Chain A
Amino acid sequence: EVQLLESGGGLVQPGGSLRLSCAASGFTFSSSAMTWVRQAPGKGLEWVASIIDSGGSTYYANSVKGRFTISRDNSKNTLFLQMNSLRVEDTAIYYCAKGGIGLAQGVDPWGQGTLVTVSS
Chain B
Amino acid sequence: QSVLTQPPSVSAAPGQTVTISCSGSSSNIGNNYVSWYQQLPGTAPKLLIYANNQRPSGIPDRFSGSKSGTSATLGITGLQTGDEADYYCGTWDSSLSAGVFGGGTKLTVL
Contact = CB atoms under 8 A, between A and B. Distances in A.
Contacts of B100: 47, 101
Contact of A104 (B39, B50, B103): B50
Band of interface residues on B? 20 to 34
B96 A113 contact: no
Contacts of B110: none
Given A101-B35, A106-B90, A111-B44, A47 B99 contact: yes
Nearest to B39: A45
A89 interface: no
Given A101-B91, A106-B50, A59 B45 contact: no
B63 to A, nearest CB: 14
Interface in B21-36: 32-33, 35
A112 B44 CA distance: 6
The 5 closest A-B pairs by CB, nearest first: A102-B92, A106-B35, A47-B99, A101-B99, A108-B47
A45 B104 contact: yes
Contacts of B10: none
Classify the secondary structure of B's interface with A: strand
Given A47-B98, A106-B47, 16 more contacts: A37-B99, A44-B86, A44-B102, A45-B37, A45-B88, A45-B104, A47-B100, A60-B98, A101-B35, A102-B32, A102-B92, A105-B51, A106-B50, A108-B46, A108-B50, A110-B46
Interface of B: 2, 32-33, 35, 37, 39, 44-47, 49-51, 56, 86, 88, 90-92, 96-104
A39 to B, nearest CB: 8
Interface of A: 35, 37, 44-47, 50, 59-62, 95, 100-113
Contacts of B45: 37, 45, 95, 110
A111 B37 CA distance: 14
B98 A106 contact: no
A112 B50 CA distance: 20
B74 to A, nearest CB: 13
B44 A44 contact: no
A40 B3 CA distance: 17
Contacts of A102: 32-33, 91-92, 99
